[in-house]
Chains A and B, each alone.
Chain A
Amino acid sequence: MAFGFFQRDAGLPTRLIPVTTTVLFAIISVVPLHIPGFAVVTPAFALMAVYHWTVYRSDLLPPIAVFGVGLLLDVLNATPYLGTSSLSLLLVRSALLSQRRFLINQPFPIVWSGFLLVTGAVFFFEWAVVSFVHTGPLSAQPFIFGAVLTVASFPVGSYLLARTQRSFLMRV
């Protein structure tokens, strides 16, 4: 697993699919969808991708890629506190690595519940970090709505990622 990422035999483009889809999910979360109020509570699509790939193919989503995606998210969003997303996504990755053996063979509701816990933790962490740096508690409402919407839309994101995984990565 340690040298899995740059093994050439399966074709580098195929092996890059987890990274590519994660970047794509990050970009989607920035595109304006023209739904009133949606921008504030946009689901954290990148979090879904990181969760999915860490559970099912953690060898193909190395920490540096997770870090890069977090940075991309922060830069595109111009969040005042650069690196918050990188930090939270990396924490998610390291927390999941210890649990993935349990999660990998579980039915979907269990995996979904795991995502619920992770999302709750991530949104709380981000709210806490930003409130701390800003020297005052921010309104928690957008964070709560964002977390709820993220958990609610997880089945869709997870389904798309699982389809991608089944089509391209079965034998990798």
Chain B
Amino acid sequence: MFIVLGKADIVVFERLRVGVADAASPILQAVAQPIATAAAGVRNIQAMFGVYQENQRLHEENARLLQWQEVARRLEAENAQLRGLVRFAPENAVRYVSARVIGNSGGGFARNVLVNAGSRDGVARGQAAVTGEGLAGRVTEVGERAARILLLTDLNSRIPVVLEDSRQRAVMAGDNSDEPRLLYVPANVQVKVGERIVTGGAGGVFPPGLPVGVVASTDGGVIRVEPFAELSRLEYVRVVDFGLEGVLPQSAVPLPKAPKGVRVVDPDLTR
């Protein structure tokens, strides 16, 4: 019965979820802290064994990055010139809130995390959650001191993206596996494995150009994306306020009145 109710009266159940998450966040935080410390300790010990190889690798990477720096400087200068030429409107100022992951949904149905920042820290629904590597997900529920982030891999996650080389627009849809699928890519578009995927900016939720992932496989017409962010070992995320108002609040969206026998396919699209 609850399964049906939870789908029917989304607002009440969301309030319930947010309330419990809020109440549980101090407990979760207290338990998560020593575990995080222990995990960090284990990682430090592991790291010590690989210091030499790591150093070698970093030397090579550094050399490569210096080259890129040159390229970036040149492009930056060129970009500034071109922007001056076309009077490009600067992007909105962004605001960051860093938050620690204090809860990790387990099981096969859901891919989301609970973080220890909420409305009092300026987190609001619809904001993007990023890691150093790329987009991780978006904020779907906000309590006073905790918020839930729907990861890219969740069943209900739909993100408008762009294939970077071909500029083809697509929707990246999670299906609870580690690698989300790309939907609505026309059959005549050549998608290469390894092509970068960035946010498309459609829908006004994320700004265009946020790194998302790379195409991992194109077997049998199913295109799968490997996200840049390591979603399975998130420890901290940055919740970014891009000042975009693309996602309407739940209350502003009238729930569809489906006639009897007709099922609303995906009520989460109204989020």
Could you tell me which A residues sit within 8 Å of B by CB distance? 27-42, 44, 71-72, 75-84, 86-87, 123, 126-127, 129-130, 133-135, 138-139, 141-143, 146
Contact = CB atoms under 8 A, between A and B. Distances in A.
Given A80-B109, A83-B3, A129-B3, A36 B232 contact: yes
Given A37-B232, A139-B177, A146 B6 contact: no
Contact of A81 (B3, B27, B111, B148): B3
A72 B268 CA distance: 21
B58 interface: no
B270 to A, nearest CB: 14
Contacts of A37: 178, 232-233
B2 A86 contact: yes
Contact of B3 (A28, A78, A82, A146): A82
Given A36-B230, A82-B5, A76 B35 contact: no
Contacts of B39: 33-35
A124 B106 CA distance: 16
A138 B176 contact: yes
A143 B104 contact: no
Contacts of B111: 39-40
B241 interface: no
A135 B264 CA distance: 11
Interface string B223-262: 0000000101111000000000000000000000000000
A72 B39 CA distance: 26
20 contacts: A32-B234, A34-B35, A38-B232, A39-B104, A42-B107, A71-B2, A75-B20, A75-B21, A77-B106, A78-B17, A78-B112, A78-B141, A81-B109, A83-B1, A86-B2, A130-B109, A138-B175, A139-B176, A139-B177, A143-B108
Contact of A138 (B113, B141, B155): B155
Contact of B6 (A82, A126, A138): A82
Contacts of A146: 106-108
A82 B13 CA distance: 9
Contact of A84 (B3, B114, B233, B268): B3
A81 B6 CA distance: 7
Most-contacted residue by chain A among B1, B16, B31 (CB, 10 A): B31
B155 A40 contact: no
Contacts of A129: 3
Nearest to A75: B20
B28 interface: yes
A72 B35 contact: no
Given A76-B24, A78-B17, A142-B176, A44 B107 contact: yes
Contacts of B213: none
Contacts of B13: 82
Contacts of B16: 75
B232 A42 contact: no
Given A76-B105, A142-B176, 7 more contacts: A32-B35, A76-B114, A77-B109, A77-B110, A84-B109, A142-B108, A146-B107
A32 B6 contact: no
Given A31-B28, A32-B101, A138-B155, A79 B107 contact: yes
Contact of B108 (A29, A35, A40): A40
B126 interface: no
Given A38-B232, A72-B20, A30 B176 contact: no
* 8 nearest A-B pairs in the assembled complex, by CB-CB distance: A83-B2, A42-B106, A82-B6, A34-B39, A77-B105, A32-B104, A39-B104, A142-B108
A80 B157 CA distance: 12
B210 interface: no
Given A40-B106, A81-B109, A142-B176, A33 B35 contact: yes
A58 to B, nearest CB: 23
Contact of A77 (B6, B32, B102, B107): B107
B31 A31 contact: yes
